[in-house]
Structure 1
């Protein structure tokens, strides 16, 4: 196994890797550090799942499973780039592309009927949504802005929309009968094996899941969302939006919550087209329409049905305008479930002064519909705060760091195997091995029931991580836990005794997410820092919300996972806008993806390697990475957004140059200084040629040989467009 594993992923970050990885390998080799890749891309995971359908030369190993073993060891040093958390439409599109490339994969069975189809569907379902992160995150999360990045953002503030007290933008969530209100939770006193059983109104029992084994101390939750309550809520919100004259916007996480949220998304599509489904529901079903796949798929399936299309047009004219993903192309909020991801869409809307883009191409206030009330209050309080106080002053704002409980599939993100759309009225029970019932809910057909768990060791590790970080920072530190929520109340039973035993209870506060949001916003508005200590979902949401407000992007965060067995996982930031970046590259050969997250992760990875392996040269390389990153920021070498401006490839040239210059100038290792002095000189001497060659590559369409699985040679030709730079790097 190589010293550092650099993950092969998808979309813009993978394209950037074609340019950046050769630079990393060249420089790392000077310290005797090997860097290799493991494929966790959507296409790679699909191919690894179906070896029996492929020829011998087409097969590839299950790299995700291999990395899953590695992260449970002290030797792990993994740089993880953002990968696709696939929705069904993305999964289907990737399968079709691979089939067109000669891979004899089975189709994705949308409605499996035979045992063979059900088996294929079950294998594909393991790839959907957040299939990667729970496997690799064998530790808790430490996310914060690098000091250099934060200072740069304060000196060079990004554009912030203006908030008005009169803004009509609001956040609305269900008032009850949702996951939040129906949650029950218990901490196991001993090791347990349990099953999930549906008991029909006639007494018929159906085992939904069995053999669930949990160690003593595990917090086990169960909850459900009422389908009837959800439908009524959506109907009400559509009417409310029209009355207010705002944009209807649904904000979900249909990628990470790959079972529950696509179903909720489908309810929204049904609500929006309610009269159409009432009149043509059977015909659309016969055409293969599945509202969970979104309006885009629906419209494609009914486009040759004039009566249905006319009915859709009629309903659309009667509805309020909708928040648009791409108003120029008519792509709406409800087109594809993976297009609008709450942790990216809500911060962007808030950064923009509460405005979203409407179908007319103009900005407008929005009704932000977030059905479940578990975390909606965070966004609600944020919107209210900025209405009252105006937009955040980026030049003086403090920073919010995050310590997230996520190890061993903690909380909701680990609930995929135990989430079910209920087939019939009755009761769902979680039964212990002795037959007693741990949790029970009365449910109706169509309700969404789920269970999640959080284990003792990750909880204790998370609290200790918070204690360590607060001691380093000395700033405000808040556990975002709601004593009135069942799951959080169980976590508080762990947190309070640990803090007391360590003698640091006075250093921390415990608040509901709504309360913590307001207190934290006041703190950073005053220019002070705060540490948000949160569960898994809030970790995801807050490490987009605050960085997007503070820095303009979440891709520039240090994201360190301290693996529980002693290894390190270094994440490189969010990839939410990556699809648009790829589209731009393919159309005009300009990649605006910013690799600053990769730079930050690389530096941390090398320094960690130096510390854990006793490799002093690796430590020198890591420190020089910090200097190179500072050079990128100080000299404004990040990619521009428009064709003709310097792009991702230019930023890699400048990073390599600053890195080489820092190594040549350092005094800690004479051998490294001697080795990189001529490289630094060559990069400086080649500036005019390199910049010119990279600029000349832009403007025309770029052929990558695919989207989900690009052709390696074609991608290298596009992303390594400077012969001069290539000759220096090798």
Structure 2
């Protein structure tokens, strides 16, 4: 069971590469922080940890663990909160099923995930597992709005050491395709509630029957409440058309969704794409596939596993794939396509990577090709469409001279949780969906058909006001261009603009901001950074997610090095460490070659901010000294090129932690603000320097062989520590 005391700083236990890196880095943090009287503890928000915490009734006493996510959800509402959040898995169904299977293999008597629950017991199990799927962590912890930007040291390093950018040509065939109607964007309705209200969502059948989809919804006064749906027929027609066009154009068919964050809607859309691409197979073998338990939402990989003993079906699948346009590949060497697993191609990572590569994606032949980037919903597809058009016109961005786009994101209290909220449904039969307030008022209404995807989202008044004020503060600090990415022709954005304009007017800063639709804001921002200047993108939740990958990947080559501060609305601080999209490949390399190329620079940046915040909140001046020294150490990592290499036998994540510890100790020993800390760290710094050769030798000698972590989703702590702390010399110094 987890410790019930609350440490000064909580460092989250997560998954994959970031968690492996923690096994090496966290002992260093705890060693240094202790000298300043700062306690650093952990709380488990990993996928495996959340599964275990959800089913205590089937586990032994030794296996049970507390619900750390729920505890942190309460903590972030308090002013004393100080949480460093590493990127965790936002689980798709295949990932969830794989994690359950691994835990079962380790002796955890967990129930299977019921993909097609029929009994009440199965439905109850499914409901519990569904609380773990997708972006289950972030909405709980983000009790504040987001301030994301490249740290000055990181930006300077990127300009002095520009990464490679693919060349763009004006005749590139790469394009973005989106629905022209019948999508979430075109069907959206939005209203701001004048008074506090409760509501239910009902489906009225064509025969007059009423099915309650969701009851007991509660909204405070001033809440913006949206509702919309995507037509299944329109989606299928669009996908069929684009599959044919892609073949004619001779490009890759690439589908870009967010099946993790949009955990209800996007796996369904993904399933439609799988069925559309393999339509002749489903038409011919539909009953056989159904009997085999095939769910297209789980992807081509799951489908192929289920038809392994069906040679005729397999042959027909291979024939259809050969006849279609080539698929954008996740791993061409292993034959993993865009349609294999819903969580393998995540739009906020996949689209920037393709754009950075000059509009090229990997095909099944192992070569780069132009691509049709299929983004069905037209809400934010224009951002990527305009980006591609801009680079076709102007050529690639130069990281050596490019400015930067910062982001202020509206996300507090589950703002704009599209497609992942428990108010997203696949409609079972034709009828009318209504959002009905307790007084009988019909807030929103849509005529729908079986298979349509209907969703609602809400955004509260207090987070909106806090978001606007955060933007005002950030613009004042930077003195640069600031744009609210809001489209007055979109229902939801129009309601937000009704909040934004009066606040800007009241504060006397309306002239400091522009309000632009996402397409226009995209071009304006690229023009600004091409001139070497700074722009602040003030956006909603989903665009926050997309833009804080798009611009950093083009500016810095990665989004993992962003400074991400969440100023919690009740006074605490949440410090996020960047994206984890490439984590699976990093883990694979570690297991095969004992080389971890994960870069902990995001953790370094978050640690410095967390210590400075602690100093301000608690009056702990030793913590402030520690935090300033973290900044110096981070600069040392960049200036001396101590970040991990990609190749086995070269410095990796563990080497970078040694150098960080050394630079941190040297900075503390050299500072004059706290003599006690200087005296304490002087011998540590000296020993780290004197034993450099032995430490680096021990670290490199560990590489080159496969390792056993005791699991993937649920690793063995002792085995992981042995792998991630292979230098006995360094361990003796750190303790």
Cross-structure match for 2:47: 42
Cross-structure match for 1:142: 147
Residues 162-201 of structure 1 aligned to structure 2 (within 5 Å):
162-201=167-206
Cross-structure match for 1:418: 423
CA distance in 2, matches of 1:107, 1:629: 45
Q: Is the 8 A contact 1:218 1:455 kept in 2?
A: yes
Structure 1: gaps (5+ residues): none
Q: Is the 8 A contact 1:221 1:453 kept in 2?
A: yes
Cross-structure match for 2:287: 282
CA distance in 1, matches of 2:543, 2:672: 43
Cross-structure match for 2:562: 557
Cross-structure match for 1:382: 387
2:660 aligned with 1:655, yes or no?
Answer: yes
Following superposition, the deviation at residue 414 of structure 1 comes to: 7.3
**Which of 368, 388, 398 is the aligned partner of 2:403?**
398
Q: Is the partner of 1:171 in helix, strand or coil?
A: strand
2:221 aligned with 1:216, yes or no?
Answer: yes
Q: Is the 8 A contact 2:261 2:420 kept in 1?
A: no
Residues 301-380 of structure 1 aligned to structure 2 (within 5 Å):
301-380=306-385
CA distance in 1, matches of 2:572, 2:348: 28
CA distance in 2, matches of 1:168, 1:400: 27
Q: How much is the aligned-residue C-alpha RMSD, in angstroms?
A: 0.5
Cross-structure match for 1:601: 606
Cross-structure match for 2:447: 442
Q: Is the partner of 1:411 in helix, strand or coil?
A: coil
Q: Is the partner of 1:349 in helix, strand or coil?
A: helix
CA distance in 2, matches of 1:697, 1:295: 38
Cross-structure match for 2:234: 229
Following superposition, the deviation at residue 412 of structure 1 comes to: 3.0
Structure 2: gaps (5+ residues): 1-5
Q: Is the 8 A contact 2:84 2:610 kept in 1?
A: yes
Deviation per residue, 1:355-381 (Å, 9 max, x gap): 000000000000000000000000000
Deviation per residue, 1:174-224 (Å, 9 max, x gap): 001100000000000000000000000111000000010000000000000
CA distance in 2, matches of 1:387, 1:691: 46
Q: Is the 8 A contact 1:399 1:528 kept in 2?
A: yes
CA distance in 2, matches of 1:120, 1:91: 13
Q: TM-score scaled by structure 2?
A: 0.99
Deviation per residue, 1:284-324 (Å, 9 max, x gap): 11101000000000000001101100110110111001100
Q: Is the 8 A contact 1:134 1:413 kept in 2?
A: no
2:667 aligned with 1:640, yes or no?
Answer: no
2:253 aligned with 1:244, yes or no?
Answer: no
Q: Is the 8 A contact 1:414 1:453 kept in 2?
A: no
Q: Is the 8 A contact 1:405 1:462 kept in 2?
A: yes
Cross-structure match for 2:542: 537
- Give the 4+ runs in structure 1 shifted more than 4 A: none
CA distance in 2, matches of 1:54, 1:680: 46
Following superposition, the deviation at residue 468 of structure 1 comes to: 0.3
Cross-structure match for 1:685: 690
Cross-structure match for 2:266: 261
Cross-structure match for 2:3: none
2:552 aligned with 1:547, yes or no?
Answer: yes
Q: Is the 8 A contact 2:143 2:568 kept in 1?
A: yes
Following superposition, the deviation at residue 622 of structure 1 comes to: 0.3
Cross-structure match for 2:584: 579
**Which of 669, 673, 691 is the aligned partner of 2:674?**
669
Q: Is the partner of 1:180 in helix, strand or coil?
A: helix
Q: Is the partner of 1:699 in helix, strand or coil?
A: coil
CA distance in 1, matches of 2:283, 2:167: 42
2:522 aligned with 1:525, yes or no?
Answer: no
Q: Is the partner of 1:541 in helix, strand or coil?
A: helix
CA distance in 1, matches of 2:27, 2:249: 54
CA distance in 1, matches of 2:463, 2:253: 39
Cross-structure match for 1:719: 724
Q: Is the partner of 1:150 in helix, strand or coil?
A: helix
CA distance in 1, matches of 2:491, 2:535: 26
Q: Is the 8 A contact 1:428 1:440 kept in 2?
A: yes
Following superposition, the deviation at residue 261 of structure 1 comes to: 0.1
Deviation per residue, 1:574-631 (Å, 9 max, x gap): 0000000000000110000000000000000000001110000000000000000000
CA distance in 2, matches of 1:272, 1:316: 8
Deviation per residue, 1:659-699 (Å, 9 max, x gap): 00000000100000000000000000110000000000000
Q: TM-score scaled by structure 1?
A: 1.00
CA distance in 2, matches of 1:74, 1:534: 25
Q: Is the partner of 1:607 in helix, strand or coil?
A: helix
Cross-structure match for 2:627: 622
Cross-structure match for 1:430: 435
Q: Is the 8 A contact 1:130 1:413 kept in 2?
A: no
CA distance in 2, matches of 1:102, 1:245: 50
CA distance in 1, matches of 2:577, 2:730: 24
Q: Is the partner of 2:412 in helix, strand or coil?
A: coil
Cross-structure match for 2:29: 24
CA distance in 2, matches of 1:18, 1:117: 37
Q: Is the 8 A contact 2:263 2:420 kept in 1?
A: no
Q: Is the partner of 2:655 in helix, strand or coil?
A: helix
CA distance in 2, matches of 1:242, 1:645: 43
